């Protein structure tokens, strides 16, 4: 067989066609496959398989084992060293070796997409990664964050000189995580984007590869994290929000264990993430029956920063003022929710436009109407494939209507959270000792050994007690 003339002609006109090639082509069988005279065998297309299923099983097993170990190290051994070692292991295994995917944080989106329907498959391994740490939180508090989460671990190992963030700032920044969670759920449910994965600051570092944006973001978080401990955990992590709802109900919780807290404040200063609540101001303390060691207790009243909600004056009137404040907040709550709904309604069209299908619809329209010049890859491909415009329009409309009720719902959620936070803040809690704030504590075990009551700290206890009594 000779080289066909058709082929030569095609070759000759090829370059000209090439330049004018505006629409993509997927190839057709233009030239029949040859009949070889020699016994040439065709090479087979090589298809390397993905990870074998046993890898998934192994990952889930390692996750379960690490959670169990973390619980034991935090609650039974109370060992900071052990927790740190486990965190380093998890960082290496889940982070660097397994590449950071899938993680429970991102799994929020898989679960949302599966719940939203549309036939999204939820592999068992993803479901397990989402549920196991939550289950562990019901039992033991946020031990997942302590030694298992690779994102937590990479932030924890770089903490060198944590600065104290004022409580009001801590709590305001904490609102970001709720916003992030809400946005992640909204975008995943509408099939628009997986923002948690898109803006994961650490996954690029785990893989030592990624876009400049990803790697830069990671570097910023790590550098900042030297002085502001665990910034992602405290102010952004959406999974942390879920755990913070559950942790107060944990069967066994990380505690500092002060049998007769001497108000030395060492634990609070040692917690890098502001997760230890100070006792009430002396005014409130004076009203309760003084516990053993009352002298120390009163002496400590002058400590700076003790009791952020300190009240001037004592006793009388405090209750009534509290109640009035609470009533005011309860009235404001529905207003906040309503404001959220309104804002959500306003933003819905803008948010919907982040969806590719909606974008494509808009762009096609703009091109048809001559509002824009030229075309994008997406519109060119859409036109050349001759797909149905009505189907696309219907799809875009479905997505827009999903945003039309999802976005106000997100607004309502944020309003509600804001109201709940304010109410929680205004509620007077009677506390005589420094105590771990369960929703925020990531169970890192740093504070345990700081307490003078910790076994081995007897000398410190005596010393501090003397000092305080002298005051």
Q: Which of residues 130-169 bind ligand SF4 (CB under 6 A)?
A: 145, 149, 151-152
Nearest-CA neighbor of 164 among 268, 309, 241, 266?
268
DSSP 61: H
* 100 to 139: interface string for another protein, x by CB under 8 A: -xxx--xx-xxx--xx-x-xxxxxxxxx---x--xx--x-
Task: Work out the angle at residue 304's Cα, subtended by the Cα atoms of residues 300 and 307, and round it to the nearest 5 degrees.
Answer: 75
Instruction: State the Rg of the chain over Cα.
Output: 30
Cβ distance 435 to 256 under 8 Å? yes
Question: CA 430, CA 319: separation in Å to the nearest integer?
Answer: 12
Count of residues near ligand SF4 by CB under 6 A:
24
> Quick one: 288 or 401, whose CB is closer to another protein?
288
Q: Which stretch binds another protein (CB under 8 A): 65-73, 161-169, 198-206, 339-347?
A: 198-206
Residues 436 to 455: which contact another protein by CB under 8 A?
A: none
Residue 445 in contact with ligand SF4, rule: CB under 6 A: yes
Residue of 67, 443, 449, 451 interacting with ligand SF4 (CB under 6 A): 443
Residue 371 as a binder of another protein (CB under 8 A): the answer is: no
Q: Is 239 in the site for ligand SF4 (CB under 6 A)?
A: yes
Residue 233 interacting with ligand SF4 (CB under 6 A): yes
221-280: contacts with another protein (CB under 8 A)? 245-246, 248-251
Which residue lies nearer to another protein by CB, 36 or 370?
36
* CB of 413 vs another protein, minimal distance in Å: 15
CB 138 within 8 A of CB 246: yes
Rounded to whole angstroms, the Cα distance separating 390 from 321 reads 62
By CB under 6 A, tell whether 336 contacts ligand SF4: no
Does 367 bind another protein (CB under 8 A)? Our answer is no
Q: DSSP for 93-152, please give it.
A: IIIIITTT-S-HHHHHHHHHHHHT-TT----HHHHHHHHHHHHHHHHHSSHHHHHT-HHH
Q: Give me 136's structure tokens.
A: 């562990």
Cα–Cα distance, 388 to 396 (Å, whole number): 13
Q: Is 50 a binder of another protein (CB under 8 A)?
A: yes
Task: Check residue 362 for interaction with another protein (CB under 8 A).
Answer: no
Binding region for ligand SF4 (CB under 6 A)? 105, 145, 149, 151-152, 232-233, 237, 239-240, 254, 270-271, 273, 275-276, 436, 441-447
């Amino acid at each position: 067989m000779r080289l066909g003339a058709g082929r030569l002609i095609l070759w000759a006109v090829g370059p000209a066609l090439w330049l004018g090639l505006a629409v993509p082509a997927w190839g057709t069988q233009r030239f029949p496959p040859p009949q070889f005279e020699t016994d040439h065998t065709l090479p087979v297309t090589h298809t390397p398989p993905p990870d074998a299923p046993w890898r998934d099983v192994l990952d889930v097993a390692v996750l379960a084992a690490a959670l169990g170990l973390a619980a034991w190290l935090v609650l039974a051994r109370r060992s900071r060293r052990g927790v740190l070692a486990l965190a380093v292991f998890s960082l290496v295994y889940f982070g660097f070796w397994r590449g950071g995917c899938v993680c429970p944080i991102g799994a929020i989106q898989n679960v949302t997409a599966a719940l939203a329907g549309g036939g999204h498959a939820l592999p068992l391994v993803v479901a397990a990664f989402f549920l196991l740490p939550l289950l562990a939180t019901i039992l033991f508090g946020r031990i997942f964050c302590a030694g298992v989460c690779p994102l937590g671990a990479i932030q924890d190992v770089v903490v060198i000189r944590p600065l104290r963030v004022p409580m009001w700032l801590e709590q305001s920044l904490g609102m970001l995580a709720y916003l992030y969670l809400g946005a992640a759920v909204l975008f995943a449910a509408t099939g628009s984007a997986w923002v948690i994965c898109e803006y994961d600051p650490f996954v690029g570092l785990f893989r030592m590869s990624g876009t400049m944006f990803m790697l830069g973001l990671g570097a910023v978080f790590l550098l900042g994290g030297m002085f502001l401990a665990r910034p992602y955990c405290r102010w952004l992590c959406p999974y942390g929000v879920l755990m913070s709802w559950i942790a107060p109900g944990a069967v066994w919780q990380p505690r500092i264990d002060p049998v007769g807290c001497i108000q030395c404040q060492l634990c609070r200063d040692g917690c890098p993430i502001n997760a230890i609540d100070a006792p009430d101001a002396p005014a409130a303390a004076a009203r309760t029956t003084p516990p053993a060691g009352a002298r120390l207790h009163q002496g400590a009243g002058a400590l700076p920063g003790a009791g952020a909600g300190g009240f001037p004056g004592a006793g009388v009137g405090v209750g009534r003022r509290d109640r009035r404040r609470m009533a005011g907040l309860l009235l404001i709550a529905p207003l906040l929710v309503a404001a959220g709904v309104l804002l959500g309604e306003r933003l819905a069209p803008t948010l919907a436009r982040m969806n590719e299908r909606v974008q494509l619809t808009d762009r096609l329209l703009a091109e048809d109407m001559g509002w824009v010049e030229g075309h994008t890859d997406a519109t060119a491909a859409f036109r050349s494939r001759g797909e149905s415009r009505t189907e696309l329009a219907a799809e875009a409309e479905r997505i827009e209507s999903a945003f039309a009720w999802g976005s106000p719902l997100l607004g309502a959620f944020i309003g509600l959270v804001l109201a709940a936070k304010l109410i929680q803040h205004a509620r007077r809690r009677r506390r005589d000792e420094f105590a771990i704030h369960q929703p925020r504590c990531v169970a890192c075990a740093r504070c345990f050994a700081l307490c003078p009551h910790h076994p081995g700290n007897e000398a410190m206890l005596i010393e501090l007690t003397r000092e305080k009594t002298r005051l």
